[in-house]
Amino acid sequence: MVDQYILGGILASLLGFVLLYSLSGKKKEAASTKIQDECLKSPTNGECRSKNGENYDVVIVGAGVAGSALALTLGKDGRRVHVIERDLTEPDRIVGELLQPGGYLKLIELGLEDCVEGIDAQRVLGYALFKDGRDTKLAYPLEKFHSDVSGRSFHNGRFIQRMREKVSSLPNVQLEQGTVTSLLEENGTIKGVQYKNKSGQELTTHAPLTIVCDGCFSNLRRSLCNPKVDVPSCFVGLVLENCQLPYANHGHVVLADPSPILFYPISSTETRCLVDVPGQKVPSISNGEMANYLKTEVAPQIPPQLYDSFIAAIDKGNIRTMPNRSMPADPHPTPGALLMGDAFNMRHPLTGGGMTVALSDIVVLRDLLKPLRDLNDASLLCKYLESFYTLRKPVASTINTLAGALYKVFCASPDRARKEMREACFDYLSLGGVCSTGPVALLSGLNPRPLSLVLHFFAVAIYGVSRLLLPFPSPKRLWIGARLISGASGIIFPIIKAEGVRQMFFPATVPAYYRAPPVN
């Protein structure tokens, strides 16, 4: 009997302990929820910086190519990263589909080469140029590289989604859908961003470094740079299905009138066609003007092998347009913030160099941030990161300058000197040897040297003049030759000036080049 009372007492005590423990746990959970809610409403406490109480090192605005690759890179380096992207559904764009070999090498350097696997990406081994019934093949100079190194072409959205999946798998990176409405500034220092999440709730997130990568239509760049956006032309995009390109695994550039037409594979069954239309106005798609323009003005100029597929793509009706923007990098260093990707710097997409520049910039930034474990001294960090703008210049400005100059040379013109320059460029590239491998190495990002670019550009101009003066020079030909040199100078020098002569050619003379990281 006594044993029963003792056993009952023990059981009652255990049940009472379990009940008390449960009630205590609920109180703690409620208190924790209350603290998090207070942090959302007024995130002044340095330890409460986001809706889940995380304390981040970096906030990234945008999860396109630049934002996703940057988040993966910093996340793999152990940084706590908060990425906010306006729309996490798969993007559907007609640009950003060709990654040059130089960009692929940067992808390898970042350890992200598997992001082009499983998306039906196609290897690209070079270019083919077409002009007035003639054509020439230009191979990438890949002899010194591993057999896997080449260009890659793909659906832009598939590439981005592949990177976003990898971002989501990192425990120290939070990828969230939301619209950033403003940068949070305190005494001239950016402390984070204000944004609306998917459900429309106004939130803030804080970090010592905010990196803006919200693309070509960025609404935040004006706070961090002096944007001078130029729109020289628009691309009209089509997808050709099950067509055979004249040169397999090559991009195709048709030097048409008035401006170039591009073809390149984006999957095993699809070929992207981009028709460049100069200016900002294009024929209307809705009333059939565009279809008529493509059939009557463009179709007769494309290679015969592609004609039927081109007409079929027009008849299918999925015609898209995209303005081509160029914008030199002109930042004003701001403590706590940095610009990257198309929000920071754009060039004409003719040469497909945008992703190469972005990935190269990420490599530069990663290497700069590596020795810094503490990013909280905003003024010292800003002063140190000014070197980023100098270190990136040789690669970025070579690709930017080539894109702008080549587009102007490839466009048709009634001017005799410009016509001669265009013809000379095609024939110079057709010569083979260093005359083709040199420019293609620049185009592909494998040899991004500004001086090499200038030398080849004026070699084309001099080649054009020599053709004019042989076999017998005449006053008229001498005059055209002089205008050709003058025109070439008028094309390339303004672009170089916008990029920055000193930073482009003599970066080692810029004091920021030698700036040491802050002492932790």
pLDDT tens string 215-243: 999 999 999 999 999 999 999 999 999 99
Residues 299 and 243 in one domain: yes
Q: Which of 60, 102, 19 is nearest to 338 (CA)?
A: 60
- Measure the CA–CA gap between 207 and 461, rounded to whole angstroms: 51
What tens digit of pLDDT does each residue of 29-60 get?
Answer: 443 333 233 333 333 333 334 554 568 999 99
Element (H, E) at 71: helix 65-76
For residue 463, being part of any structural domain is answered with: yes
Alpha-carbon gap, residue 302 to 135, rounded angstroms: 12
In the structure, what pLDDT confidence band is assigned to residue 187 with cuts at 50, 70 and 90? Answer: very high
pLDDT band at residue 1, thresholds of 50, 70 and 90?
Answer: very low
pLDDT, tens digit (0-9, with 9 covering 90-100), for 359-416: 999 999 999 999 998 999 999 999 999 999 999 999 999 999 999 999 999 999 999 9
C-alpha–C-alpha distance, residues 333 and 164, integer Å? 29
Residue 141, in any domain of the structure: no
H-run or E-run covering 135: strand 134-139
Residue 63 lies inside a defined structural domain of this protein:
yes
Q: Which of 291, 326, 361 is the last residue of a domain?
A: 326
pLDDT at 2 over 60: no
Verify that 247 and 181 share a domain, yes or no. no
Q: Is the domain of 173 the same as that of 69?
A: yes
**pLDDT score of 434 more than 60:** yes
Judge if 426 and 482 occupy the same domain: yes
458 and 357 in a single domain? The answer is no
- Mean pLDDT of the region 84-88: 97
Residues 203 and 290 in one domain: no
Residue 137 β-bridge partners: 128
Residue at a domain's end among 284, 307, 326 = 326
Does residue 170 sit in the same domain as residue 235?
Answer: no
Q: Which of 326, 360, 387 is the last residue of a domain?
A: 326
What confidence score (pLDDT) does residue 53 get?
A: 52
State yes or no: pLDDT of 76 exceeds 90: yes
Instruction: For residue 106, tell me if it sits in a domain.
Output: yes
- Same-domain check for residues 215 and 337: yes
Task: Please report whether residue 217 resides in a domain.
Answer: yes
Considering only CA atoms, which of 97, 124, 135, 350 is closest in space to residue 246? 135
CA distances from 272 to 64, 153, 368 (A): 20, 10, 37
- CA–CA gap between residue 35 and residue 58 (Å, rounded): 23
Copy the structure tokens of residue 451. Answer: 């001086």
- HEC string of 450-514 equals HHHHHHHHHHHHHHHHHHHHCCCCCHHHHHHHHHHHHHHHHHHHHHHHHHCHHHHHCHHHCHHHH
480 and 440 in a common domain: yes
Query: For residue 247, what is the domain's CATH number?
Result: 3.30.70
Task: For the chain, give the percent of residues with pLDDT over 70.
Answer: 89
- 355: pLDDT confidence band, cut at 50, 70 and 90? very high
Label residue 318 exposed, middle or buried (CB < 10 Å: 0-12, 13-18, 19+).
exposed
Is residue 161 domain-shared with residue 283, that is, in the same domain? no
Q: To 10 degrees, the CA torsion angle through 463, 467, 469, 470?
A: 130
Q: Lowest-pLDDT range, 21-30, 313-322, 479-488, 490-499? A: 21-30
Look at residue 236 and tell me if it is in a domain.
yes
Look at residue 518 in the predicted model and tell me its pLDDT. Answer: 86
DSSP annotation of 64 = S
Within-domain flag for 494 = yes
Mean pLDDT of 170-180: 97
Number of domains present in the structure of the chain: 3
Domain interval for residue 317? 230-326
* Residue 2 forms part of a structural domain: no
Closest by Cα among 167, 170, 168, 192 to 182:
192
pLDDT of residue 54: 65
pLDDT band at residue 471 using 50, 70 and 90 as cut-offs: confident
Q: In this predicted model, what pLDDT tens digit does every residue of 106-125 receive, in sequence order?
A: 999 999 999 999 999 999 99
Band of residue 472 on the pLDDT scale cut at 50, 70, 90: confident
| CATH number for the domain harbouring residue 83 | 3.50.50.60
Q: 219 with 236, same domain?
A: no
Q: Is the domain of 168 the same as that of 184?
A: yes
